[in-house]
Structure formats: C-alpha cells, structure tokens
Structure 1
Amino acid sequence: MSGGENSSRLIDVVLDESIGRSTPDVEHERAVAIFDLIEENAFHPVGDEGGGPYRLNLSLADSRLVLKVTREDGGDVVTHILSLTPFRRIVKDYFLICESYYQAIRSATPSQIEAIDMGRRGLHNEGSQTLMDRLSGKIEVDFDTARRLFTLVCVLHWRG
C-alpha cells in the first residue's frame, strides 16, 4: 500500500509508563496486540487536514484512557480522553469467558469449545462496537481497527 489512501493509518503505538509493566505473558500479549494494530489499521482523527500517518501514545489517567495522536514527525494532532467505565463490564466478562475458553481447551468437547469461543467473539465484537461509538466524532476507525484497539484496551487491564 502506498500513496494518499494509506496516510490515514497508525505507524506506531506506544504505551506510556503510566500503564505500568506486567508479567512476561501480559507483556507478550501487549506486544502482539500492538503489532497486529500497526500491521493493519484505518485511523484518522476527525477534522485533521494535515494527514497521517500517525503515532498513538496510550496512557492512563484517573481511570481514563488517554489517546495522544501525533504526526510521523512527532507534531501534535489531538488528544482524546475516554472514560473506561463503559468498558468495565465488557472487559470483565471478556476475561471470564477467556478463562473458561482456556480451561475448555484442556478438557471440553469441540462443540463446547466452539460455543464458548462464539461467546468470546461476541463480547469482543460488543467491546469493539462500544469503542467505535466512543470514538465517533473524534477518531474514524474501521471495525477491524476497533477490534485491534479493543484487544489492546483489554490487555492494558490484564494483570496476568
């Protein structure tokens, strides 16, 4: 991909030190989530005429997610602060169903595993849609980008 159609995208995602570090497993999941997000995304701050590509710095402040968007050269674009409250139940339920899924892999039947996985995907989609709704009018993202961002929001909460 090259040219103008590719400028509305993220080329870097950084987790601020306010996020804190975790277990090696959690750090690995965070790295994978960031890699997947950078690999394929559609990301454009609403009203930004300067164009991307963009860098995203994520931090936490008072139970809020701070999304600081800059240009490739580091120039400021916009900072948005999202309350994490609308995500609490979804993230909590998502972790519970993921635990069930990992336990099921060891002992359940394929149909039981598939049923749990369908529930897991459904919650992930719900969280992704909630994130898209919360970013509406602030940052334009497609559903796949919202899914990858929601994965990152989840691993920010995961303590391992």
Structure 2
Amino acid sequence: MSERDQNARLVDVELDESIGRSTPDVEHERAVAIFDLIEDNAFAPVGDTGEGPYKLRLSLAEARLVFAISREDGETVVTHILSLTPFRRIVKDYYMICESYYDAIRSSTPSQIEAIDMGRRGLHNEGSQTLLDRLSGKIEVDFDTARRLFTLVCVLHWRG
C-alpha cells in the first residue's frame, strides 16, 4: 500500500449536535459504530489533491445527511449532502428484521435464527450498496467501509 493509500482513511468521526442524543443503549451503539469505522476504513474525497488522513463530521439538515470532511489538522476539504430518502425503506426493514432476529434468539431454533440473520445481512448489504452508490463520484470508500458507514446511518435513526 502506498503512503497515499495509507492516508486515505478516517481518523475521527464526530456527530454534530443536530444528530441529537438518545438513550444510553443507543449512545453506546453509536460509539461502537464510530469505533468500528475508525478502526478499519478506506476513505478519500474524490478529487482531493491534498492528503489525508481525514476527519468526518456528520450532521442532519432537514432530511439530509451532511458529510463535512476535513484534514487531520482541521483544514476543510469538502462538504457533501446526501438525501436520506433512498435509505428510509431499507433502514425501516432492517430494524424490523433486527427485532425479529433478537426475538428469535430467545425462542427459535438455530436454523430459524440463521435464516433471519441471513436476511438481516442481506438488507445490511443492500443498504451498504445504496450508500456506496450515493457516495460515488463524491467519496471513495470500499464496501467494508460503506457497511460500517451504513451501520452508523442506521444507528443515527435509532432513537431507542
């Protein structure tokens, strides 16, 4: 991996106060999602002639998710705004199947749990691909990073 590639990553993710705070359980899930994202990611704004690593500040403006990207030293790089509308159905379905999964853990057979989990992973992949598509031409991320970002998008919608 070249030095440029090693710097094409996030070193910090911050949630703006516009996201709002929630229950301790939801805050914990948000912290875990951010930790997982920072721990392993590939992230580079398209067309950035400077160098990472990058910081990401997420905020909500109306029904849009704002990606404010800066360098590690705080220098602004770019801001991208994505509509959350394409994610509404996927996030809603994902939460429904997650509830089914957690209910199944308590009372279903291993094969039933596995079937529900496969559906849950499939929806997560669909949401990740949607995010990858929406970021195309704006921010270069790999599929695993898109998965971690989609997890964070889901947790932002979770009010507890």
State the secondary structure of the residue aligned to 1:11: strand
2:40 corresponding residue in structure 1: 40
Two-structure CA RMSD over aligned residues (Å): 1.0
Aligned residues: 160
The amino acid across from 1:53 in the alignment is: P
1:134 corresponds to: 134
Instruction: Kindly state the Cα deviation for residue 5 of structure 1 after the two structures are TM-superposed.
Output: 2.4
TM-score (norm 1): 0.98
Alignment of 1:10-159 (within 5 A): 10-159=10-159
Offset of 1:49 from its aligned partner?
A: 1.0
The amino acid across from 1:7 in the alignment is N
- Structure 1's consecutive aligned runs of 4 or more residues displaced over 4 angstroms after TM superposition are none
Q: Helix, strand or coil for the counterpart of 2:58?
A: strand
The 3 A distance-change label for structure 1 pair 146 and 121 is same
Distance across 2 between alignment mates of 1:5 and 1:141: 12
Where 1:14 maps in the other structure, the secondary structure is strand
Q: What secondary structure does 1:47 align onto?
A: coil
TM-score using structure 2 length: 0.98
- Specify the SS of the correspondent of 1:74: coil
Q: How many Å separate the matches in 2 of 1:40 and 1:155? A: 18
- Please give the per-residue CA displacement for 1:69-114, whole angstroms capped at 9, x wherever unaligned: 0000000000000000000000000000000000000000000000
State the SS of the aligned residue for 2:105: helix
Q: Measure the CA separation in 2 of the matches of 1:63 and 1:133.
A: 18
Per-residue deviation at 1:2? 8.6
